[in-house]
Amino acid sequence: MAKYLTSGSILMLALASPAVAAPSPTFEKPRLVLQITVDQFRGDLPTRYFDRLGKGGLRYLLEEGIHYNNAHHAHANTETIVGHVTLATGAHPAAHGMIGNIWFDRRTGATTYNIEDPDCHLLTEGADVDADTEIDPTQKAASSDGRSPVAILTTTFSDELASLTAGKAKIFGVSVKDRGAVSMAGHTGKAFWFSKATNQFVTSSYYYDEYPQWVVDWNAKKIPESYANTAWELLHPIDTYLFGDHDDQEWEFALDSYGRTFPHKFTTPENPYFSTFLTISPAGDEITTQFAKTLIAEEGLGDDEIPDYLGVSYSATDYIGHFFGPSSLESEDNILRLDRTLADLFAYVDKEIGLENTLIVLSADHGGPEAPGYLQSLDIPAGYVSPDEWDKEPVIARIKSEFGIEGPLIQGYDHPYLYLTNDIIKNPQIDLAALETMIAKELVAFPGVSYAIPSTSLERGTVPDNRLTRAVLNNYNPARSGNIYVVFNPGWFINDLDGLSVTVVHGSPWRYDTYVPIIFAGYGTKPQKVSRRVHTVDVAITLAIAVGTRPPSGAGGDVLLEVLGQ
């Protein structure tokens, strides 16, 4: 599988591409619901390089599926866990509770990683979170290696499928990222994710007491290690790429020997960055697909008339976007390779189950901004926000004097929320609404800050009723959200994630971060393009109606009638 990355030849897919026109379904319900989430797959990216797509992957979805090309997340904090759980539940973060990759837990007095659960340890010894923080610094908030969906407050579509079938539906989530797998599997399924510490797919005691034998056997094959001493090379001659003359941009982030130009060498497993290099390349998605195909076969997905569910979250587009930006040679080649990876998966599903018996939905957990350096090269204003350079002391002193505060005022900032200390919040002598309002007014005076929205104003309904404030309200959960939601100017963001100065960081309510594809294909669908505005909360309830389950408990979207043939 890895050989093509080091040679000039092009990998030829051995499996046949899906038929141009899929046969009619042979079952009353789909035998498999295949939900694909491509991390940081902005809505324009599926069609950006359409002329060079193959026949069985993205082109199959775009030509044979229902493509909603004006789809958006309706919440403000466009981060990984937020978008994944929104797609899984059909609920806004206000209901499902996953308001950010991390948040400050006032009960424990500590910042919390979204799916951390100290009661559910990893089954693989040594597959700790420390090895996963090089390109995923939010996991530094985790104090244990335990993982589970316990913090998700509403049901997912897959949960409702389990309920409908008396637990007989087979439900799985697979991803490089733990939160990508856990969110899609829901409370009732099984989740597997890639441990960069061990180069294996792992899970936690929430799901199993011990690994199924097929997982042990798969890990024993050491497929990730087969990429040793290879490299990520261009799929085609460089002069055929839109960004062929952009291979060495000063704003791109070069991690160790991986560099910022092709070929990107993976080195060997002895290198502490080896597994990280794999995930900042199409190799991460290829490995995920190999695991997912084995899971389909070994667990017998789609082998009877009871609908099964498989959620596959692809992470490479996100990691590559963070390091190189979406308008880069690396991103362009990755999408062409993602197209082939999807074709590989679809061809396997077609062979084993039949695409006509599989309802596919592809979307993204969020979009992503352009690299400020790239925008500046086009004379478009953009840049990085540097709060560490703000002189905050006079502001804090002025606020504390105004309200007679003697102790600490700010607990901390966990994107996108500023949290005040518990002593401030619980002090009956302090007018919290007035305090939050004053802090918000001071924040918007700092460079790069566009809006600062007090939570008390959201609760009282005293903010302007517009799309941005509605998105912030959709993100507000009283138990987890902070006191003030901070929005930076369009094209501006903090690029320092716990000391890792990456090129691009998503997480805003601006269109480039909310804009994602929604494409349904396979079972019962007829090709069409739909350009009305739809939202990611529409996906889960549409799946529920299509399959015949209850809507997930917090679902707030509308049914996409085209998927039902209406």
Mean pLDDT of 542-554: 98
At residue 33's C-alpha, the angle toward residues 548 and 46, to 5°, is 125
Question: How much of the chain, in percent, has pLDDT values that exceed 90?
Answer: 89
Can you read off the two tokens belonging to residue 328?
């880069």
Q: What is the mean pLDDT of the chain?
A: 93
> 495: pLDDT confidence band, cut at 50, 70 and 90?
confident
The β-bridge relationship of strands 358-363 and 32-38 is parallel
Among residues 348, 366, 343, the alpha carbon closest in space to that of 63 is found at 343
Can you read off the two tokens belonging to residue 39?
């991390």
> 125: pLDDT confidence band, cut at 50, 70 and 90?
confident
Mean pLDDT of 89-116: 96
Classify 455 as helix, strand or coil.
helix
> 11: pLDDT confidence band, cut at 50, 70 and 90?
very low
- The residue that leads in pLDDT, 131 or 8, is 131
Mean pLDDT of 183-198: 97
Question: How much of the chain, in percent, has pLDDT values that exceed 70?
Answer: 92
d(CA 366, CA 382): 20
> 9: pLDDT confidence band, cut at 50, 70 and 90?
very low
Q: What is the pLDDT of residues 299-316, one digit of tens each?
A: 999 999 999 999 999 999
Can you read off the two tokens belonging to residue 246?
């952009």
In the predicted structure, residue 144 carries a pLDDT above the cut 80: yes
Structure confidence at residue 497 (pLDDT)? 54
- List C-alpha distances in Å: 34 to 95, 101, 173, 543, 560: 25, 25, 10, 10, 17
Mean pLDDT of 351-368: 98
- List C-alpha distances in Å: 315 to 38, 320, 338, 349: 6, 9, 11, 21
Quote the CATH superfamily of domain 3-376+509-525+546-564: Alkaline Phosphatase, subunit A (3.40.720.10)
Find all residues with CB under 8 Å of 291, minimum gap 6, and list them.
174, 192, 201, 218
Structure confidence at residue 143 (pLDDT)? 78
Phi first, then psi: what are they for 35, rounded to 5°?
-105, 115
Q: Report the half-sphere exposure of 495 (CA within 13 A, side-chain side).
A: 24
Among residues 240, 235, 277, 283, the alpha carbon closest in space to that of 260 is found at 277
CATH T-level topology, domain 386-488:
Gyrase A; domain 2 (3.30.1360)
Find all residues with CB under 8 Å of 50, minimum gap 6, and list them.
58, 59, 62
- The full DSSP string for 469-520 is HHHHHHT--TTT--SEEEEEPTTEE--EETTEE-S-----SSHHHHEEEEEE
d(CA 256, CA 264): 11
pTM of the model: 0.94
In the predicted structure, residue 152 carries a pLDDT above the cut 60: yes
Contact (Cβ atoms closer than 8 angstroms) between residue 222 and residue 199: yes
In the predicted structure, residue 490 carries a pLDDT above the cut 80: yes
Mean pLDDT of 366-380: 97
Place of tokens 């959709």: 474
> 140: pLDDT confidence band, cut at 50, 70 and 90?
low
Can you read off the two tokens belonging to residue 313?
């979250």
Contact (Cβ atoms closer than 8 angstroms) between residue 91 and residue 474: no
Structure confidence at residue 465 (pLDDT)? 95
Can you read off the two tokens belonging to residue 220?
């024993």
In the predicted structure, residue 106 carries a pLDDT above the cut 50: yes
Structure confidence at residue 101 (pLDDT)? 97
Q: What is the pLDDT of residues 232-253, one digit of tens each?
A: 999 999 999 999 999 999 999 9
> 128: pLDDT confidence band, cut at 50, 70 and 90?
low
Domain locations along the chain: 3-376+509-525+546-564, 386-488
Contact (Cβ atoms closer than 8 angstroms) between residue 534 and residue 71: yes
Among residues 416, 414, 405, 384, the alpha carbon closest in space to that of 492 is found at 384
d(CA 477, CA 102): 13
d(CA 69, CA 366): 14
Give me Rg for the CA atoms of the chain: 23
Label residues 424-446 b or e (16+ Cβ within 10 Å = b): beebeebebeebbbbbbebbeeb
- List C-alpha distances in Å: 154 to 186, 203, 374, 439, 456: 9, 22, 40, 33, 24
In the predicted structure, residue 17 carries a pLDDT above the cut 80: no
Q: What is the pLDDT of residues 387-397, one digit of tens each?
A: 888 889 999 99
